[in-house]
């Protein structure tokens, strides 16, 4: 054991160095830190890009793709994307005189080339027949003798012609003429294959802007019909234009309604939380009361209250009903946060230093709840979009011809099996939007959580 | 110890086993629940799981209904479904046969002259409790329908009988009605004025008999349950579970029961969803179902025999002629008429086989003097002419000033939505008119039509009896179904001629005039004549479809296993 010898040297202050106080990294505010963490979250970042892309799609899209979403192209109804669009120019439609134009040859035959304007059938009279039934099929006739769609009938043995105008598409059809005897029994049938060509008249081409004047086109020329990148719906309306305009309604409701009701909820909740006691009890019981009100009923009541007449948009009552009935959730959340924060030590310290109520609320309480508020907002957006889609789906929202994603789904679902693109595109947009906002909200929650700050 | 696991891995393995056990237990639980539910439903007996569409052993045909009939009191029935059920369980003086021609029903023979009609009732016509059907039962039923206390909506169909109209208005007592039973088996009818189609009227449900003692005994429950209705038709309603099941069995008391080959017509499915009905048909649970446009592809793919049938009704756009409405203006209506094309609507938009583009409110199947009315009196249907339409519109704007947004009242089914959106865009594109679509359920639409809360309305009309008058008097100024309050003295005069004249030529001329006036005045825009496409189980034969009278009619059906 040896005695340490202390010299006065040992009691001299150490030389002042600044090393301990030098920041190894640049100083980061709460928001910068959150942003860094958000950037590290790949899912959230992709979602953010998708949300930005949607905004561009909605706001800039119609400028690039300047097509009237209400315009109906009845020659291209329910066309999937990428359908063939070439058409041959023909003479305008003229009534058919079967005694003059009856095709050459015998048996069931075409009196004129089959086009999507008209298919003219002629056949030989059957001496035993009292009338004929005319069928059309898109599948070859098999041994079952299922002839397909019954197009029409004639009631005389010598009425041996039929003109098919019904929804002709450029494809192969199988026409069958069945002879009936006087009792209505089938006594024979004959089938004809016909390849229908898409045609257009010169005048029509001009109306559709495919040519400058009818003289510029002569019969037999090829033209290409208007482009519909995502196909058309059941009235021949452009899906892409409708999706863009539909996004306006969906995103308007999806963003406006949450922003307004969150704003109200924050004010209401922070007032309740800050006042505490009896005032808090009173305010929160009222919020409980509002929670119990049925949304759909109020939506209908507002529609009547605002005298929303026939065929007028129900968007405003929808917005109002959402704002008036959705705020209590936010209010509760914010109140809880405020109640917690007001008991924190730094609030007491701030109070001791003489901080005013306003300062306490604005400087300490609201910023500390902002993370929660922001996260709730991003979760409220998809739910509002979904509500709008649902209401338009059941016919309570937008009115025709205004599209919205929900109403487009409603129209598309009827033809889900035959023309699925009418349902898939709007449904895809709803799904992607809702998913993107949800993932973004998820990422924001992680990024804004102050307790996770030290974990990186 | 190469196989040593970290604690995490063992936990995973353990958790996996636990999950598997839970999943298996869940599946077993659900299976057990389903077995239990199946057993429970077999106890209640309401399940129709074992039924097949056509059963040749029990001679049962299973079918579905879109909704159940509201009630089955024939003097109050208005809808098609009540008419369908009543047509099978009741019989009037006359009925329609397999070829849809008038045939003797309860009346063995009949004679109709200028001022009256006599019906001789068959003696073997019995009620289902074995008592004979007498002339008194008809007198009672007709008085009942006309009694203002009952407020039957179809009272008007009895109005050709002497004093009938005055009785509905409450001006005369019900026993002043010009009908009397002379003896049990002769019914004498006095007519208000000679009419040419009285024999066709008496096949209508409102003319069916009701037995007084049974009615008084069950009233006000008459026709509300299967046991508060007395039957005199080919079938009896033996089971009626409201909202779920109707069962019709062959009536052994029916005078012609030997000709009826089907023992049971079962309706265990009540659904408005056409896809649900289609699935039932696919599963061989029902013997017949209609096809919507979107089902046609599948029907072709499955190689079904698709049939088509014109149900006889005409659909059109009616205008509102009340003073405060822009549509009162002739030039505006003319502009709309010339700017629209029903052929495009039918061939490109609705795309249903069996629909005919509308040219007139008189459908093509109506009989004229010798042949078909529409062949003898072709409709002067205007062709689409945009230049002329815009001239009329300019004229209308000079008279009215700016045209306000027009309200188009329409139904809430997919087809009406499609049509109204098409119509909206056509008027916007061709004339720059702003149209607002007002979609309403049937009842609400009817209420709005009656109160005149519309500019244009998509409406339709099905025939009540086989005479052009059933369409011809629709726009008479006094007709309550003339919802737009169209009033034209010349048309009214022609309706009067058609109602009173007995000469076919004079009457058809009058209908020709009515057709011309309605088109020239653009009072109504015909859209289409409705057809329907349907599929039938190949083993069921003899089902009759008709535009006027009982439809679909299974009375003459039989089972023929291929």
Higher pLDDT, B93 or A70: B93
Name the pLDDT band for A452 (thresholds 50, 70, 90): low
Residue A23 CB: number of other CB atoms within 10 A?
Answer: 7
Q: Is the pLDDT of residue A454 over 50?
A: no
Contact B408/A at CB under 8 A: yes
Q: Which residues contact A396 (CB under 8 A, 6 or more apart)?
A: A296, A299, A300, A303, A314, A318
pLDDT of res. A20: 60
Look at residue A89 in the predicted model and tell me its pLDDT.
84
Please list every residue in chain A whose beta carbon sits closer than 8 Å to the beta carbon of residue B354: 150
The mean of the pLDDT values for chain A is 82
| Contacts with A146 from chain B: Cβ below 8 Å | 300, 303-306
pLDDT confidence band for A8 (50 / 70 / 90): confident
Between CA B124 and CA B257 the distance in angstroms is 11
How many pairs of residues across A and B have Cβ atoms under 8 Å apart?
Answer: 98
Asked if pLDDT for residue A415 goes beyond 70, the answer is: yes
Check residue A364 and report its DSSP letter.
Answer: I
Tell me which of A5 and B240 has the higher pLDDT.
B240
Name chain B contacts of A312, Cβ cutoff 8 Å.
Answer: 436
For tokens 């039929």, the residue is A162
**Most A-contacting residue of B296, B351, B425 (CB-CB within 10 A), to test interface:** B425
Q: Which residues contact A36 (CB under 8 A, 6 or more apart)?
A: A28, A456
For residue A311, the model assigns a pLDDT of 63
Same domain, B368 and B508: yes
End residue of a domain, out of B217, B232, B262: B217
CATH of domain A45-69+235-455: 1.10.3720.10
Question: A115-152: per-residue pLDDT in tens?
Answer: 888 888 888 888 888 888 899 998 888 888 888 888 88
- Tokens 């039509």 correspond to what residue? B449
CB contacts, 8 Å: A203 with chain B: none
For residues B356 and B529, the answer to whether their CB atoms sit within 8 Å is yes
Q: Say yes or no: B72 and B120 in one domain.
A: no
Give the pLDDT mean for B134-161: 88
> Region B446-474: what's the mean pLDDT?
87
- Residues whose CB falls within 8 Å of the CB of residue A356, separated by 6 or more in sequence, listed in order: none
- List the single residue in B306, B354, B407 with the smallest CB-CB distance to A310: B407
Are B19 and B111 found together in one domain?
no
CATH number of the domain to which B269 belongs: 3.40.190.10
Answer whether B381 touches A (CB < 8 Å): no
Query: Residue B127: which pLDDT band, with cuts at 50, 70 and 90?
Result: very high
Q: Residue holding tokens 């109160």?
A: B451
Q: What is the mean pLDDT of residues B73-91?
A: 88
Chain A nearest-CA distance from B406, in A, is: 10
B389 and B476 share one domain: yes
Q: Does B420 touch chain A if contact means CB atoms closer than 8 Å?
A: yes
Smallest CA-to-CA distance from A116 within A192, A173, A176, A161 is with A173
- Chain A contacts of B429, Cβ < 8 Å? 71-72
pLDDT above 90 covers what percent of chain B? 31
Across the interface, of A309, A401, A417, the residue whose CB is closest to B294 is: A417
Res. A24 pLDDT band, cuts 50 70 90: low
Domain holding B109, by residue range, is 94-217
Decide if A178 contacts A135 (C-beta within 8 A): yes
Please tell me the distance from the alpha carbon of residue B75 to that of residue B207, in angstroms, as a whole number.
Answer: 8
Q: Give the count of alpha carbons within 13 A of A184, CB side only.
A: 5
Cβ separation B344–A74 shorter than 8 A: yes
pLDDT digits (tens, 9 = 90+) for B284-299: 899 999 888 878 888 8
Residue B280's CB: how many other CB atoms inside 10 A? 21
Tell me the per-residue pLDDT of A344-395, one tens digit each, with 9 for 90 and over. 888 889 889 988 888 888 778 877 887 788 888 888 888 888 888 788 777 6
pLDDT greater than 70 at residue B50: no
Q: Verify that B16 and B81 share a domain, yes or no.
A: yes
Residues 441-470, chain B, touching A (beta carbon < 8 A): 453
The residues that bridge with B532 in the sheet, in sequence order, are B309
**Which of A203-207, B353-357, B511-515 comes out lowest in average pLDDT?**
A203-207
Residues B488 and B538 in one domain: no
Number of domains in chain B: 3
Interface check for B343 against chain A (CB to CB < 8 A): the answer is yes
Q: Of residues A110 and B562, which shows the higher confidence score?
A: A110
Looking at the structure, tell me whether residues B372 and B394 fall in a common domain. yes
Cα(A385)–Cα(A247) distance, rounded to whole angstroms?
Answer: 10
Which chain A residue shows the shortest CA-CA distance from B426? Answer: A72
A194 bridge partner residues: A173
Mean pLDDT of A164-174: 86
pLDDT band at residue A71 using 50, 70 and 90 as cut-offs: confident
Q: How far is A419 from chain B (nearest CA, A)?
A: 9
B374 and B282 within one domain: no
Would you say residue B1 has pLDDT above 50?
no
Residue in chain B nearest A169 by alpha carbon: B348
Pick from B290, B302, B307, B308 the residue to mutate for testing the A interface (most A CBs within 10 Å): B308
Give the chain A residue nearest B532 (alpha carbons): A150
Set of chain A residues whose Cβ sits within 8 Å of the Cβ of B305 = 145-147
Residue B49 has pLDDT above 50, yes or no: no
The answer to whether residues B528 and B342 touch, using CB atoms and an 8 Å cutoff, is yes
**Would you place residue B48 in the very low, low, confident or very high pLDDT band (cuts 50, 70, 90)?**
very low
One domain for residues B388 and B488: yes
Query: Architecture of domain A89-201 in CATH?
Result: Sandwich (2.60)
Q: Are A399 and B437 inside 8 Å of each other by CB?
A: yes
The secondary structure of B196-217, three-state, reads CCHHHHCCCHHHCCCCHHHHHH
Q: Which residues of A touch B (CB under 8 A)?
A: 70-72, 74-75, 77, 136-139, 142, 144-151, 165-167, 234-235, 309-312, 395, 399-401, 411, 414-415, 417-418
A400 contact residues in B (CB cutoff 8 A): 417, 420-421, 424, 437
Nearest to B303 among A70, A144, A149 (CB): A144
Residue A21's pLDDT band (boundaries 50, 70, 90)? low
Kindly state whether residues B433 and B393 are assigned to the same domain. Answer: yes
Say which residues have a Cβ less than 8 Å from residue B194's Cβ, sequence separation at least 6: B114, B115, B500, B502
Distance between alpha carbon B53 and the CA centroid of its chain, in Å?
Answer: 24
CB contact at 8 A, A94 and A257: no
Q: Which two tokens stand for residue B108?
A: 């063995």
Locate the domains of chain A by residue range: 45-69+235-455, 89-201
Give the three-state DSSP class for B282: helix
B304 touches chain A (CB under 8 A): yes
Place of tokens 């406006």: A256
Which of A16-30, A332-346, A393-407 is predicted most confidently?
A332-346
- Please indicate, yes or no, whether residues B205 and B303 belong to a single structural domain of this protein: no
Residue B109 has pLDDT above 80, yes or no: yes
CB contact under 8 A, A414 and B408: no
Residue B54 and residue B191 in one domain: no
A223-237, A240-254, B24-38, B222-236: least confident range: A223-237
Domain limit, last residue, from B200, B217, B234: B217
The dihedral built from the CA positions of residue B271, B272, B276 and B277, taken in this order, carries a sign that is positive
CATH (domain of B120): 3.90.76.10
Q: Which of B5, B178, B176, B191 is nearest to B112 (CA)?
A: B191
Statement: residue B306 has pLDDT above 70? yes
Q: What is the pLDDT of residues A207-243, one digit of tens each?
A: 777 777 777 777 777 888 778 888 888 888 888 989 9
CA atoms of A118 and A43, how far apart (whole Å): 54
- Over residues A416-442, the pLDDT tens digits come to 777 888 899 988 998 888 888 888 888
Element (H, E) at A241: helix A239-275
Quote the pLDDT of residue B296. Answer: 86
Across the interface, do A395 and B428 touch by the CB < 8 Å criterion?
no
Beta-carbon separation of B301 and A139 below 8 A: yes
Q: Between A74, A138, A400, which is nearest B424 by CB?
A: A400
Q: SS3 for B121-154, per residue?
A: ECCCCECCCCCECCHHHHHHHHHHHHCCCCCCCC
What ipTM was assigned to the predicted interfaces of this complex?
0.76
* pLDDT-derived band at B43, boundaries 50, 70, 90: low
**What CATH number has the domain bearing residue B346?**
3.10.105.10
pLDDT of residue B554: 92
pLDDT number for residue A2: 57
Per-residue buried b or exposed e for A386-402, using 16+ beta carbons within 10 Å of the residue's own CB: bbbbbbbbebbbbbbbb
| DSSP per residue, B507-556 | HHHHHHHHHHHHHHTT-EEEEEEEEEEEEE-TTEE--B--SSSSSSB-TT
* Contact check, Cβ <8 Å, B306/A70: no
**A70, A118, A166: best to mutate for the B interface, most B CBs within 10 A:** A166
- Predicted pLDDT at B324: 87
Nearest-Cα distance to chain B for A315, in Å, is 15
What is the pLDDT at residue B3?
46
């Amino acid at each position: 054991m040896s005695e340490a010898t202390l010299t006065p040297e040992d009691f001299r202050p150490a030389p002042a160095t600044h090393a301990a106080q030098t920041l190894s990294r640049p100083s980061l505010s709460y928001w910068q830190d959150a942003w860094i963490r958000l950037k590290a979250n790949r899912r959230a970042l992709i979602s953010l890009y998708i949300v930005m892309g949607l905004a561009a799609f909605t706001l800039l899209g119609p400028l690039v793709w300047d097509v009237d979403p209400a315009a109906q192209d009845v020659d291209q109804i329910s066309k999937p994307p990428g359908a063939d669009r070439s058409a041959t120019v023909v003479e305008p439609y003229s009534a058919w005189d079967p005694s003059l134009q009856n095709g050459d040859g015998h048996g069931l035959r075409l009196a004129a080339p089959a086009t999507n304007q008209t298919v003219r059938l002629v056949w030989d009279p059957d001496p035993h027949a009292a009338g004929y039934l005319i069928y059309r099929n898109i599948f070859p006739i098999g041994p079952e003798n299922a002839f397909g769609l019954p197009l029409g009938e004639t009631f005389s043995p010598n009425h041996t012609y039929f003109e098919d105008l019904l929804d002709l598409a450029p494809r192969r059809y199988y026409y069958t003429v069945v002879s009936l005897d006087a009792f209505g029994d089938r006594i024979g049938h004959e089938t004809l294959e016909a390849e229908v060509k898409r045609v257009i008249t010169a005048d029509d081409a001009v109306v559709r802007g495919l040519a400058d004047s009818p003289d510029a086109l002569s019969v037999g020329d090829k033209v290409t019909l208007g482009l519909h990148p995502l196909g058309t719906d059941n009235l021949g309306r452009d899906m892409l234009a409708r999706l863009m305009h539909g996004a306006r309604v969906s995103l308007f409701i999806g963003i406006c309604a949450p922003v307004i009701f969150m704003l109200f909820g924050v004010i209401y909740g922070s007032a309740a939380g800050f006042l505490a006691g009896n005032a808090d009890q009173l305010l929160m019981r009222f919020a409980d009361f509002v929670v119990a009100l049925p949304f759909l009923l109020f939506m209908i009541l507002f529609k009547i209250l605002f005298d929303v007449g026939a065929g007028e948009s129900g968007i405003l009552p929808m917005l109002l009903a959402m704002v008036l009935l959705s705020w209590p959730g936010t209010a509760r959340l914010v109140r809880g946060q405020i109640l917690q924060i007001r008991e924190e030590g730094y609030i007491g310290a701030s109070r001791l230093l003489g901080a005013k109520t306003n300062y306490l609320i604005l400087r300490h309480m609201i910023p500390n709840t902002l993370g929660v508020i922001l996260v709730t907002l991003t979760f409220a957006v998809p739910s509002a979009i979904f509500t709008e889609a649902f209401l338009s789906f059941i016919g309570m929202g937008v009115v025709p011809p205004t599209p919205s994603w929900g109403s487009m789904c409603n129209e598309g679902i009827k033809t889900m099996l035959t023309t699925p693109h009418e349902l898939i595109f709007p449904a895809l947009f709803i799904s992607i939007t809702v998913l993107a906002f949800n993932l973004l909200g998820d990422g924001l929650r992680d990024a804004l959580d102050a307790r996770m700050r030290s974990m990186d | 110890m190469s196989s040593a696991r970290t604690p995490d891995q063992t936990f995973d393995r353990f958790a996996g086993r636990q999950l598997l056990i839970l999943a298996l237990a869940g599946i077993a639980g659900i299976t057990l629940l389903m077995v239990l539910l199946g057993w429970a439903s077999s106890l209640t007996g309401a399940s129709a799981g074992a039924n097949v569409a056509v059963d040749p052993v029990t001679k049962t045909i299973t079918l579905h209904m879109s909704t159940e009939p509201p009630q089955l009191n024939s003097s109050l029935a208005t809808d098609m479904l009540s008419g369908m059920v009543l047509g099978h369980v009741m019989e009037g003086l006359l009925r329609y046969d397999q070829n849809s021609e008038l045939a003797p029903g309860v009346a063995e023979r009949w004679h109709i002259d200028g001022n009256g009609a006599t019906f001789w009732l068959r003696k073997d016509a019995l009620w289902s409790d074995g008592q004979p059907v007498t002339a008194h039962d008809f007198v009672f039923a007709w008085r009942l329908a006309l009694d203002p206390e009952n407020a039957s909506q179809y009272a008007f169909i009895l109005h050709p009988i002497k004093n009938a109209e005055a009785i509905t208005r409450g001006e005369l007592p019900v026993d002043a009605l010009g009908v009397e039973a002379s003896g049990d088996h002769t019914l004498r009818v006095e007519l208000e004025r000679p009419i040419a189609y009285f024999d066709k009227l008496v096949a209508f449900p409102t003319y069916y008999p009701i037995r007084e003692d049974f009615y008084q005994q069950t009233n006000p429950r008459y026709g509300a349950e299967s046991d508060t209705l007395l039957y005199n038709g080919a079938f009896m309603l033996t089971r009626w579970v409201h909202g779920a099941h109707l069962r019709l069995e062959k009536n052994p008391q029916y005078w012609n029961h030997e000709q009826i080959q089907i023992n049971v017509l079962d309706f265990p499915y009540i659904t408005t969803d056409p896809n649900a009905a289609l699935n039932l048909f696919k599963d061989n649970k029902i013997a017949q179902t209609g096809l919507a446009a979107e089902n046609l592809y599948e029907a072709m793919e499955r190689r079904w025999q698709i049939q088509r049938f014109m149900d006889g009704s005409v659909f059109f756009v009616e205008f509102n002629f009340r003073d405060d409405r822009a549509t009162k203006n002739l030039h505006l209506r003319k502009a709309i008429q010339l700017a629209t094309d029903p052929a495009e609507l039918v061939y490109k938009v609705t795309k249903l086989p069996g629909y005919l583009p509308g040219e007139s409110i008189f459908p093509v199947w109506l009989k004229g003097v010798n042949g078909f009315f529409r062949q003898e009196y072709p409709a002067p249907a205007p062709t689409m002419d945009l230049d002329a339409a815009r001239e009329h519109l300019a004229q209308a704007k000079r008279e009215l000033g700016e045209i306000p947004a027009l309200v188009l009242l329409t139904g809430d089914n997919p087809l009406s939505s499609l049509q109204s959106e098409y119509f909206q865009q056509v008027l916007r594109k061709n004339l720059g008119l702003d149209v607002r679509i007002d979609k309403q359920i049937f009842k609400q639409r009817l209420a709005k039509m009656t109160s005149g809360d519309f500019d244009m309305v998509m409406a339709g009309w099905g025939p009540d009896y086989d005479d052009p008058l059933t369409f011809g008097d629709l726009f008479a100024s006094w007709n309550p179904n003339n919802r737009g309050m169209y009033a034209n003295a010349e048309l009214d005069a022609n309706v009067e001629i058609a109602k009173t004249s007995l000469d076919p030529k004079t009457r058809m001329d009058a209908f020709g005039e009515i057709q011309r006036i309605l088109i020239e005045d653009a009072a109504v825009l015909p859209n289409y004549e409705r057809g329907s496409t349907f599929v039938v189980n190949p083993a069921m034969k003899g089902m009759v479809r008709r535009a006027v009278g009982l439809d679909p009619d299974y009375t003459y059906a039989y089972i023929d296993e291929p």
